[in-house]
Structure 1
Amino acid sequence: MGIERFIGVDLAWAQGGGARVRPNETGVAVIDGRGAVIDCGWTCGLDETTQWLAGAAVGGSTLAFVDASLVVDNPAGQRPCEREVGRRYGRWKVSANSTNQSSPHLAGVLLRKRLQQSGWAYDDGRGGPPTGGLVFSECYPYTTLVGAAELGYDEARPTYKRRPAGVPAARWRAVRAEACDELIARMAGLADADPPLAMASHPVSRRLLDEPSPLRAADYKHREDLIDALLCAWTAALWSRHGFARCQVLGADDLAPPGRAPTIIAPARPEQRRGRVPSGQVSSRNSRSINSG
């Protein structure tokens, strides 16, 4: 039995400040093997996210990729997989913030525990793509954007999230919206990729194609979360379809027992592969933040 469904979760790392504070939104998406979007949208909080995952999964054949730190066993500093993001993808202006057991926002760890309690299995990817079961792994959409040649970001990641130093604050929202629209146009091209992603196949994801990116911050973040969820789902399909031929496992040198290491499964061009350190590395502070998931 092969994997039939691929889920992407752009998890909100922070869970709010108590009963009176609504958690940040989490983007969610599920596609099938033909790239059709079966469902996509947003959840709020771990309860809603876990319930959505249960409804979206096909028992025995679902792979979920989550943009959040799922296994955090280091008391301080940065996880090895996060260091490798900067080493392999720094030339493309992609790196990762540090997470450790002292970090204040670790919703990914809580989600992992809930999923494992409900019958899902965490997989670190070191053994290759799973062939069945309810399986979930960690990914990072920025590595997909620059690691998957289909999207065409050959030189650097798109500026759809963080303001470059040379862009004045007064122009940033317009520049960001333009970059986001360009990203969506490139994602639309994945309809003919292997594996495919047919964004026009669901009314919610189709609105990304039909409507321009908004300037208002809250509306823009709403859209961004869904984009990242779709990227996570497609990355899961890419890993399942092509395995190590198109992806690498960052943090694979961890000595944890098989299936339990803190890793990030990332699409990779040949020059981004482990063992080759691209030039032009950037600081981990310039990329993945607690608000990006």
Structure 2
Amino acid sequence: MPRFFGVDLAWRDGTPARPANETGLAVIDESGAVISAGWERGVDAVAAWLIASAAPGDVIAIDAPLVVTNAAGMRQAEREVGSRYGAWKVAANPMNLASPLQGGAALRARLEHAGFHYVDGSGPPPADRVSMFECYPYTTIVGMEELGYDDRRPRYKRLDPAVSRTEARVLRAAACDQLLERMAGLDRADPPLRMRSHPLAAALVDDDSPLLDAPYKHREDLLDALLCAWTASIWHRHGATRVQVLGLGAEPDEAGRRPTIVAPARPMQRVAEPEPAAPGSRVDADGATGPALASEPPRGVDPGMLARVLALGAEVQASDGHRLEPTLRSELAELSARIVRRLASEH
């Protein structure tokens, strides 16, 4: 009987001077029972726990970029998150090789060294190996009708900048408690998630979400790990009937891995899946393929500036249209001025 692991990975690994943030971990079985739940810190500890716990046939869903091939900018899968789930106020943070937040790729490498198998989600998992794929809990929340988020995602992560920080923490806690209440109703879903089958998961449902940031984040990490585990179960149970693969048309890495996100989806969140690109071809934002692009950005384009523009764009898209924080507004103004100066100098 396969088991389904969820990993809400801290993207930044630890150093002697700065320990890693907590990673939430959860395991459920085919009945939806939560058979393990908890936290670890650092890629090494997470990898050791998974290697000791998982067995052939098990599936691991990890909320972190596992395969990164782009030198700058945003991966195709992340662009597709915005294009397909943006109406629900869901956007993905951009990831590229210039980012220092490479914990996901490091974890994948350690698990592959132990014999685990990365899958892009386009086919069934091998029964004789442990499979792992990348997921994004927000797509599960808005992509599974059972949770009832028909119009927009719950704001249970970032504080709302449109109100005071005190009020924003109250609103965040209320959104989290509502999400957990809905997750508690998944015991009859297909596949099920039985939140009250484990004391730590049951405590998420029964206890009010804290207002202070540190205890709140501790709780949120486990919540997201449970959503990841449920995503693994959904993919294993239903495949393409309830899940789509984002970034499937992206160029693979040197080992043939495609940087994809396995995302539950409603019919209106889907578009026709592109054909996988042949090695050495490029994939445009709309999924069209063409001749390979150079590995370096075009001449005259500052990759650091481009990465910042994309990151800020994702932040703005996730801001729900509220007023921007002063620091973000200042950065956007600075970037706009630099872009205008660059265009003026080129023409």
Give the TM-score of the pair, scaled to structure 2. 0.77
Tell me by how many angstroms 1:287 deviates: 4.5
> 19, 38, 42: which one pairs with 2:39?
42
Counterpart in the other structure of 1:269: 266
Amino acid at match of 1:237: S
Superposition deviation, residue 22 in structure 1? 1.8
- Identity in percent: 53
AA in 1 matched with 2:153: R
Amino acid at match of 2:42: G
Q: Aligned residue for 1:164?
A: 160
Residue identity matched to 1:24: N
What is residue 9 of structure 1 aligned with on the other side?
Answer: 7
CA shift digits 1:130-188 (9 cap, x unpaired): 54520000000000000010000000000101233433323011111111100000000
- SS in structure 2 opposite 1:69? coil
How many angstroms apart in 2 are the aligned matches of 1:126 and 1:209?
34
| Alignment check: 8 A CA contact 2:51 2:111 kept | no
- Aligned residue for 1:43, secondary structure, equals strand
- Describe the superposition over 1:184-237 as per-residue Cα deviations: whole angstroms up to 9, x where unpaired: 000001111010111111111111112110011100000000000000000000
Partner residue, 2:202: 206
Is 1:108 the counterpart of 2:108 in the alignment?
A: no
Alignment of structure 1 residues 76-87 onto 2, 5 Å: 76-87=72-83
> What do you get for the CA RMSD once the two structures are aligned?
2.0
Contact in 2 for aligned 1:30/1:56 (Cα 8 Å)? no
- Tell me the equivalent position of 1:291: none
Residue among 137, 141, 148 paired with 2:144: 148
1:54 counterpart = 2:51: yes
Name 1:284's counterpart in structure 2: 314
Specify the SS of the correspondent of 2:58: strand
Q: Aligned residue for 1:23?
A: 20
Structure 2 residue 59 is matched with structure 1 residue 63: yes
Structure-2 separation of matches of 1:31 and 1:267 = 18
TM-score, normalised relative to structure 1: 0.91
| Conserved? CA contact 1:37–1:198, under 8 Å | yes
Q: Please tell me whether the aligned partners of residues 123 and 259 of structure 1 are also in contact (alpha carbons under 8 angstroms).
A: no
- Matches of 2:12 and 2:19, distance apart in 1: 10
Where structure 2 has 5 or more consecutive residues not aligned to the other structure, the ranges are 274-285, 287-311, 320-347
Question: Using the alignment, how far apart are the partners of 2:160 and 2:87 within structure 1?
Answer: 15
CA distance in structure 2 between the aligned counterparts of 1:259 and 1:241, rounded to whole angstroms: 25
Are the counterparts in 1 of residues 65 and 95 from structure 2 also a CA contact under 8 Å? Answer: yes
Matching residue's letter, 2:52:
G
AA partner of residue 5 (structure 1): R
**Contact 2:161–2:168 (8 Å) recurs in 1:** no
Q: Which fold has the larger relative contact order, with Cα–Cα distance below 8 Å and residues 6 or more apart in sequence? A: 1
SS at match of 1:249: strand
Corresponding position of 1:185:
181
Name the amino acid aligned to 2:98: S
State the AA in 2 paired with 1:93.
Answer: K
1:62–1:132 contact (8 Å) kept in structure 2: no
User: 1:115 is matched by which residue type in structure 2?
Assistant: L
Displacement after TM superposition at 1:90 (Å): 0.2
Residue 92 of structure 2 corresponds to 96
Return the alpha-carbon distance in structure 2 between the equivalents of residues 130 and 138 of structure 1. 16
- The 1:112/1:141 distance shift into structure 2, 3 A limit, reads same
Is 1:248 paired with 2:278?
no
- 2:292 aligns with none
In the alignment, is the contact (CA less than 8 A) between 1:129 and 1:243 conserved in 2?
A: no
Evaluate the alpha carbon distance shift between residue 36 and residue 95 of structure 1 in structure 2; reply closer, same or farther with a 3 A threshold. same
How far has the Cα of 1:12 moved from its partner? 0.2
Q: In the aligned structure 2, how far is the partner of 1:201 from the partner of 1:124?
A: 30
